[in-house]
């Protein structure tokens, strides 16, 4: 049994030879597989020569009586190249080709290839027809699509989703049209789960200054994005109760007040202050006090709806915006919260906690969140001083 094309190619790859296995069937020439050195060699002439142009030239000069003997095909124009071709299984149209480029083009290619092949980022090159001309190993690892299968294909042809393929092509087209780099962020469901990526597509120019190909570098930024989200959450929420903090809450109230002024909705505001909270810290310690605040936070979440907004304004002061709720219904919510707060215990010990609640419905004259908060704050202190029970203004 003779040596197969795949075995020959493996031997040439081990020897560091730029070579490829090609097939000529029904008059059409195609590349089946390549050595890494061949892909590296093509990088060195990117913008001046690509696989499609190489195959077209080979096809034009292919001898009509090509048999088992080796033959050569060369191009004298820039960049000059030379291919030595040998039939491996001539009857099946299987051939092995060795590519030779001018010496001055080979050394930079080696450096580029060594660096790019070992990057953790995904590096690809696409031509103006959005066909892949190069993909480094991380691309195959990420997608599960072998490099040999991907080369010469568009995103759609290798099974990339329509939305993602369209986004990539739009980004690459902007690069070709403007000659400037373009960034793109996207989600991709990899073997490790849904990940978030940032890509930067950079133009590569030919000798006439025309963007000929796009070199894309894609980096997994899932961990960075997760940390960014965590930092945003910390900036928006109270670390003890996970409710919104004062700044985020007032910003949300301003948006709701805008709805009120445009007659597109309404809401009622509850301002809650724990009575004699300092005594709890003095009698049971600050750890017990923190547990009480955490419990109150949970009660507010459980007694309100998902579209309502709860916050800890600071200390033992809490606030809840009950969206599209009138003051009478808000009073019922306040009473339920009051009963649950009074039942709070710590390690089985009754704490005797109570809460004072001011209730006000948002009105058009409340120009800002601070105006409404000041109004409901005055009502809450009336309740706290014994002026009246929790009730609407």
E strands present in 93-181: 94-100, 122-127, 132-135
Q: Count the Cβ atoms, other than its own, within 10 Å of residue 96.
A: 20
Is the model's pLDDT at 234 over the cut of 90? no
- Residue 319's nearest CA partner among 370, 282, 281, 258 is 370
The H or E element containing residue 25 is: strand 19-25
pLDDT (mean) for 257-284: 90
Asked if 332 and 392 touch (Cβ cutoff 8 Å), the reply is no
pLDDT at 207: 66
Higher pLDDT, 17 or 381: 381
- The separation between CA 363 and the C-alpha centre of its own chain, rounded to angstroms, equals 41
Higher pLDDT, 385 or 241: 241
pLDDT per residue as tens digits for the range 102-130: 766 654 455 556 667 777 899 898 989 99
- How many CA atoms lie less than 13 Å away from 52 in the CB half-sphere? 13
Thinking of the domain 240-384, which architecture would CATH place it in?
Answer: 2-Layer Sandwich (3.30)
pLDDT at 391: 43
> Do 119-224 and 240-384 fold alike per CATH?
no
Is the model's pLDDT at 81 over the cut of 70? yes
Domain ranges of the chain: 5-106, 119-224, 240-384
Pick the CATH number of 119-224 from 3.30.450.20, 1.10.10.60, 3.40.50.12160, 3.40.1350.10: 3.30.450.20
Is the model's pLDDT at 169 over the cut of 90? yes
- Residue 31's nearest CA partner among 45, 44, 42 is 42
Asked if 185 and 197 touch (Cβ cutoff 8 Å), the reply is yes
CATH of domain 5-106: 3.30.450.20
Q: What angle do CA 316, 322, 324 make, to 5 degrees?
A: 165
pLDDT at 105: 60
CA distances from 289 to 119, 293, 318, 329 (A): 52, 6, 15, 30
* Mean pLDDT rounded to a whole number for the chain: 86
Lowest mean pLDDT of 141-150, 246-255, 366-375, name the range: 141-150
- The separation between CA 309 and the C-alpha centre of its own chain, rounded to angstroms, equals 28
């Amino acid at each position: 049994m003779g040596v197969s094309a795949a075995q020959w190619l493996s031997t040439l790859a081990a020897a560091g030879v730029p070579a490829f296995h090609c097939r000529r069937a029904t008059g059409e020439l195609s590349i089946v597989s390549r050595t890494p050195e061949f892909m590296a060699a093509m990088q060195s002439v990117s913008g001046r020569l690509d696989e499609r142009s190489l195959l077209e030239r080979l096809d034009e000069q292919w001898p009509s009586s090509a048999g088992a003997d080796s033959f050569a095909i060369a191009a004298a124009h820039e960049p000059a190249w030379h291919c030595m071709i040998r039939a491996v299984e001539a009857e099946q149209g299987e051939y092995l080709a060795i590519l030779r480029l001018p010496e001055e083009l080979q050394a930079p290619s080696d450096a580029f290839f060594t660096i790019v092949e070992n990057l953790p980022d995904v590096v690809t090159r696409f031509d103006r027809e959005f066909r892949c001309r190069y993909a480094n190993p991380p691309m195959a690892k990420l997608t599960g699509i072998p490099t040999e299968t991907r080369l010469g294909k568009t995103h759609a042809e290798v099974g990339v989703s329509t939305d993602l393929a369209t986004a990539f092509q739009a980004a690459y087209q902007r690069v070709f049209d403007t000659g400037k780099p373009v960034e793109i962020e996207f989600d991709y469901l990899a073997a490790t789960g849904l990940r978030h990526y940032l890509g930067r597509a950079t133009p590569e120019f030919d000798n006439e200054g025309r963007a000929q190909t796009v070199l894309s570098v894609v980096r997994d930024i899932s961990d960075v994005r997760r940390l960014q989200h965590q930092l945003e959450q910390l900036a928006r929420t109270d670390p003890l109760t996970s409710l919104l903090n004062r700044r985020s809450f007032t910003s949300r109230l301003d948006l709701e007040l805008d709805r009120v002024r445009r007659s597109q909705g309404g809401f009622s505001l509850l301002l809650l202050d724990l009575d004699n909270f300092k005594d709890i810290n003095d009698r049971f310690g600050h750890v017990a006090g923190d547990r009480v605040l955490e419990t109150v936070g949970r009660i507010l979440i459980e007694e309100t709806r998902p579209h309502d907004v709860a916050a800890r304004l600071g200390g033992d002061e809490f606030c809840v915006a009950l969206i599209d709720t009138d003051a009478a219904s808000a009073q019922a919510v306040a009473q339920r919260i009051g009963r649950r707060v009074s039942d709070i215990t710590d390690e089985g010990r009754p704490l005797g906690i109570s809460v004072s609640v001011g209730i006000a419905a948002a009105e058009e004259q409340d120009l800002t969140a601070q105006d409404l908060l000041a109004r409901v704050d005055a009502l809450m202190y009336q309740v706290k001083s014994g002026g009246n029970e929790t009730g609407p203004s």
